[in-house]
């Protein structure tokens, strides 16, 4: 399989990390070179975003302004994530690695938009970023995501029921607008079944 950029998206608690880990293991076992990553990225701007979510770094207290600020920060982090010379997505693919990322610019549309003006802002900030070779969206009911998140010791500012209802609606819109290769999967299915579906979509011979 030639190097591919594969993105997994879904509500918090939908199983994106589980599927990313399973896909990484299968590809590596088959002799593929793979880098698994995420957004916010492990880079300097990504770490700043993570600290903001935890409340360790204080930004805007107004939720709408906070979303706008995050849209700008995520775009800056995304540029670094894609193009930095050390472990950027594009340089790693040029070195023969497939890249599996949990979250990409789809999450910015989902999490940072509450009005049409926000949608336009996120589109403007992300319009020059490359589309993934495959987008996998794990569609999970909000109540199930909340149940799964309840097993975590702490929740960040975006892991609340009211916010996730908006996020779910925004995901449906960006999925409809995205014209690239994508698959929408019921996140309630058995993880092994979902994994097989993803491999089939990639036309990866995993026998």
Q: What is the pLDDT of residue 155?
A: 47
Rounded Cα distance between 174 and 171, Å, is 5
- In terms of Cα–Cα distance, which of 139, 131, 147, 146 is closest to 197? 139
Q: Which structural domains are found in the chain, ordered by start?
A: 5-201 (3.40.50.300)
Taking the C-alpha atoms of residue 38 and residue 40, their distance in angstroms, rounded to an integer, is 6
Residue 147: predicted pLDDT:
81
Task: Give residues with Cβ within 8 angstroms of 108, minimum separation 6.
Answer: 71, 74, 75, 78, 122, 125, 126
Q: Edge to edge, what strands does the sheet with 5-10 contain?
A: 34-38, 98-102, 5-10, 134-139, 182-186
Q: What pLDDT, on a 0 to 100 scale, did the predictor assign at position 136?
A: 98
Report the candidate in 5, 64, 85, 4 with the shortest Cα–Cα distance to residue 39: 5
Residue matched to tokens 């995050």? 70
DSSP conformational letter for 167: H
- pLDDT score at 157: 46
pLDDT of residue 156: 52
Distance CA 88, CA 68 (A): 25
**pTM listed for this prediction:** 0.90
pLDDT digit of tens for each residue in the chain (207 aa)?
A: 899 999 999 998 899 999 999 999 999 999 999 999 999 999 999 999 999 888 888 887 787 888 889 999 999 999 999 999 999 999 999 999 999 999 999 999 999 998 999 999 999 999 999 999 999 999 998 888 878 776 554 445 455 678 889 999 999 999 999 999 999 999 999 999 999 999 999 987 655
């Amino acid at each position: 399989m030639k190097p591919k950029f594969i993105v997994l998206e879904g509500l918090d608690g939908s199983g994106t990390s589980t599927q990313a880990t399973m896909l990484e293991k299968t590809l590596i076992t088959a002799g593929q070179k793979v880098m698994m990553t995420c957004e916010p990225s492990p880079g300097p701007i990504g770490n700043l975003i993570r600290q903001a979510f935890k409340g360790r770094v204080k930004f805007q207290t107004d939720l709408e302004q906070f979303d706008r600020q995050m849209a700008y920060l995520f775009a800056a982090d995304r540029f670094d994530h894609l193009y930095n010379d050390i472990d950027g997505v594009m340089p790693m693919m040029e070195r023969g690695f497939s890249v599996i990322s949990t979250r990409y610019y789809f999450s910015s549309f989902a999490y940072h938009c509450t009005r049409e003006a926000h949608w336009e802002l996120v589109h403007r900030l992300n319009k020059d970023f490359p589309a993934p070779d495959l987008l996998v969206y794990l569609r999970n009911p909000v109540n199930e995501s909340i149940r799964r998140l309840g097993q975590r010791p702490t929740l960040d500012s975006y892991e609340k029921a009211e916010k996730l209802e908006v996020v779910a609606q925004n995901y449906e819109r960006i999925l409809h607008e995205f014209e690239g290769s994508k698959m929408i999967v019921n996140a309630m299915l058995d993880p092994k079944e979902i994994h097989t579906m993803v491999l089939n979509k990639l036309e990866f011979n995993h026998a």
